[in-house]
Amino acid sequence: MGYPEDALAGDEELLLHRHPHWKMLFWPAVTFILATAIAGFLLGLAQAKLDGTALNVVLIVIGVAWLAIVLWRCLPPLIRWRSTHFIVTDRRVLIRHGVLTHTGIDIPMGRISNVQFRHGLFDRMLGTGTLIIGSSSEDPLEFDDIPRVERVHALLYHQVFDAMDLHRGRGDDPRGGGEVTGDYR
C-alpha cells in the first residue's frame, strides 16, 4: 500500500487522488526544451570550430550550464507538482504538499458548508480551475489548478450532501448545531 492509502483510517474509502494540473509544468518544460536546444546547438558549433583541450573545456562548460539551468528552473516545479496531493475520501478532504517540510489540511465532510469552483476561459480550455471549500468555522479555502474541477466539485457536493443525509437520519445536525430543524436541500 502506498501514498495516500497509508494516510487513511482503516475503514476510510479513497474517492479521489489528484496532483495539480499539468499547466504548472508548462514553463519548466519550455525552459528544458529551450535549454536543451541551445546546448545542442552550442555543442555542434563547438565541435565544428574547436578541437583538443579547448573543445573539452567548452563541452564541460556547456554541460554544466545546461545542468544548472535544468536543476534551477525545471526540477523544483516538478518536485512541487509531484509532492502536492489533493485527496477526497468518504469522510474528509486532505491536501498535502512539501518535501522537506510537509504541510497538510484535513477538512471533515461534516464541516464543509459549501463547495464552489471558478475557472476562466483559459482554465476551461485546459480542464482545470480553482476549487473553493467553505468550512462552517473558517474563511473559504481556495485550491488552484485542480484538474477537472467541475467533476471534483460535483463529487464533493454529493459527499457533503450524503454526509448531511446520514446525520439527518440520526436526528443531529452535521455542523454541530444540535437537532435538525429544516431541510438543507
Q: What pLDDT is attached to residue 2?
A: 60
Q: Which three cell numbers, joined as nine digits, stand for 23?
A: 499547466
Q: How far apart are the C-alpha atoms of 68 and 39, rounded to whole Å?
A: 12
Helices (H), the chain: 26-49, 52-73, 75-82, 121-126, 149-170
Mind listing the pLDDT tens digit of every residue in the chain (185 residues)?
A: 467 777 788 888 899 999 999 999 999 999 999 999 999 999 999 999 999 999 999 999 999 999 999 999 999 999 999 999 999 998 899 999 998 898 998 888 888 888 999 999 999 999 999 999 998 777 888 999 999 999 999 999 888 877 666 666 655 544 444 443 333 33
Provide the residue ranges of all domains of the chain, joining segments of one domain with +: 5-20+84-170, 25-79
CA distances from 52 to 57, 58, 83 (A): 9, 10, 44
Q: What pLDDT is attached to residue 182?
A: 35
Residues 5-20+84-170, CATH architecture: Roll (2.30)
**pTM across the whole model:** 0.76
Buried b (16+ CB within 10 A) or exposed e, 121-145: eebeeebbbbbbbebeeeeeeebeb
